[in-house]
Amino acid sequence: MGQNASVADGRLPVALSGRAFCLADATKSPISLGSVDDLRDPGPCDEVRDHARAQGAIIGKAMTSLKSGKGMVLVLISLP
């Protein structure tokens, strides 16, 4: 996937289904098993805290947890 001369030039991997490790941010709250979102804000994914506001932004379910800081979380990708 890609488009030349744009931020979508194809150099970064994209997962549309399956399991993938995603950079996650647990500085505000820990990420536990469950939904994670990535589409509202640029940058690392984080745990959904308000499901009503996260509609359409959820990328999948966290299969591993992250107690604090930033790190990689295994996510079961399930795009809407």
- Examine the pLDDT at 1 and tell me if it is beyond 60: no
User: For residue 5, what pLDDT band results from cuts at 50, 70 and 90?
Assistant: confident
Six-digit token string for 60:
């999948």
pTM for the full predicted model: 0.71
User: For residue 8, what pLDDT band results from cuts at 50, 70 and 90?
Assistant: low
Residue 62's beta-bridge partner residues?
34, 75
- Closest among 37, 32, 35 to 67, alpha carbons compared: 32
**Region of residue 23 (phi > 0: left; psi between -120 and 50: alpha; otherwise: beta):** beta
**Could you read off the pLDDT of 27-76 as tens digits, one per residue?**
888 888 876 766 656 667 777 777 787 777 778 888 999 999 999 999 89
**Region of residue 53 (phi > 0: left; psi between -120 and 50: alpha; otherwise: beta):** alpha
